[in-house]
Structure 1
Amino acid sequence: MAELKLSEVCYQYKNSKQKVLKGISCDFQGGKLCAIVGPSGSGKTTLLSILAGLDRPSEGKVYINGDDLTTLDLDAYRRERVAMIFQSFQLFPLLTILENVSYPMENNGIPKKEARERAGKLLLMLGITEEKHKRFPSKLSGGEQQRVAIARALATGAKVLLADEPTGNLDRENTLHILDILKKFAHEEGYCVIVVTHDQEVASISDRVWRMQDGILTI
């Protein structure tokens, strides 16, 4: 199972003395859906960026399965070991649904035909029927687009899923559906799923809830 571990992680912007993250030490384990909650400006998104390898800590270390991120090729890390799911879906508007999901596999060297076959299976598994695979993202509902975004994240083969307000644009029914999907992959497939959210309902059904306040993370 995948695991992310932080040890005394701090972060501050250049030319600023104020720390956005303050000595964060914690473990995010595979097999669990973890939520990070807290007010805007508390440091949640900055923490997610560090977990994704988009930013480096000013102090401290981040490990994935015991590997120090500072020793890794971060481009490969983002392609193969962690995947992001966004509130705004971030699908390619000029690619079909099938092409959106097959893209990360083709980018990792999987032959086009094989990537398309895998993409189709992932979409079907997430309830996107075959008749919709050739549609463009704008032709799907918000809930469907988010399921496509999850399929694309799964297509990378990464066992760590980082979700930034993944239900922020969805109604309650779709919110619960998306959470059920994420929780299923955590519990049944051993994924490490970390969700940053303002939604208390998301937090209430998570396995573990971390709270961020003024750059400090507590359980």
Structure 2
Amino acid sequence: MAVLSLENVTYRYKNAQRAAVSGISCEFEEGKVYAVVGASGSGKSTFLSLLAGLDLPTEGTIRFQGDSLAELNLDRYRRESISMIFQVFHLFPLLTVMENVCFPMELCGITPKDARPRAAKLLEAVGIREEQMKRFPSKLSGGERQRVAIARSLASNAKIILGDEPTGNLDGENTQNIMDILCELAHKKGYCVILVTHDMEVAEMADVSFRMKDGNFVS
């Protein structure tokens, strides 16, 4: 069964002449990596914001595990069911690596004492050493910061990972490393990973790729 499904989804910004997303129907399953590739202005970012529940469709329906997002508590959906990875990492600069990963767990009511060992395991799983966990993000490389961002995205136990150009600031080697981690999360641990990107190499590493143009998927 699809964890996310879209039925003829359209989204139009107020006073816009054309829809940013136009009549998309598709499904996303656990255990797979999906890539939505397209040029700037093709509608990728709007599409991702709809999946994240930041906006609701102007027309059509998005369902999470069969339930329409329009009928769900969207704050809870964003907090518990999805996690985001961004191109610019969005780590808190005044928190250490460890504190950055603990933060979403503490938001969910987990005590700092219980959050730290889980955060350490998540960081170790993405290749961050114990010594690096005490550093501030500015003391890490771009690839290391993206690894921390992935660890933080896993801290909420959400099984859907949404990536907004997550490799856009990385070189080829680090792009491969990050994609290896995301593919392992999908294939071995059952996550549903959905990435929007302009990078065709990233799209080729995904299990399923969609090309987006003028707000719709094209073959």
Q: Would you say same fold, with TM above 0.5? A: yes
Count of residues in correspondence between the two structures: 219
Unaligned runs of 5+ in 1: none
Match of 1:42 in 2: 42
Match of 1:131 in 2: 131
Distance 1:129 1:91 in 2: 17
- Percent of matched pairs sharing the same residue: 61
Match of 1:174 in 2: 174
Unaligned runs of 5+ in 2: none
Alignment of 1:119-158 (within 5 A): 119-158=119-158
Match of 1:95 in 2: 95
Kindly report the root-mean-square deviation, in angstroms, between the aligned alpha carbons of the 2 structures: 1.1
Distance 2:214 2:34 in 1: 20
Change (3 A) 1:2 1:118: farther
8 Å Cα contact 1:42-1:215 kept in structure 2? yes
8 Å Cα contact 1:98-1:119 kept in structure 2? yes
- Poorly superposed stretches of 4+, deviation over 2 Å: none
Deviations 1:79-132 (A, max 9, x none): 100001000000000000000001000000111111111001100111100011
Alignment of 1:1-219 (within 5 A): 3-218=3-218
8 Å Cα contact 2:12-2:20 kept in structure 1? yes
Give 1:218 shift: 3.5
Distance 2:2 2:208 in 1: 16
Taking structure 2 as the reference length, the TM-score comes to 0.98
Taking structure 1 as the reference length, the TM-score comes to 0.98
Question: SS in structure 2 opposite 1:176?
Answer: helix
8 Å Cα contact 1:2-1:190 kept in structure 2? no
8 Å Cα contact 2:42-2:215 kept in structure 1? yes
Distance 1:135 1:17 in 2: 48
Question: SS in structure 2 opposite 1:173?
Answer: helix
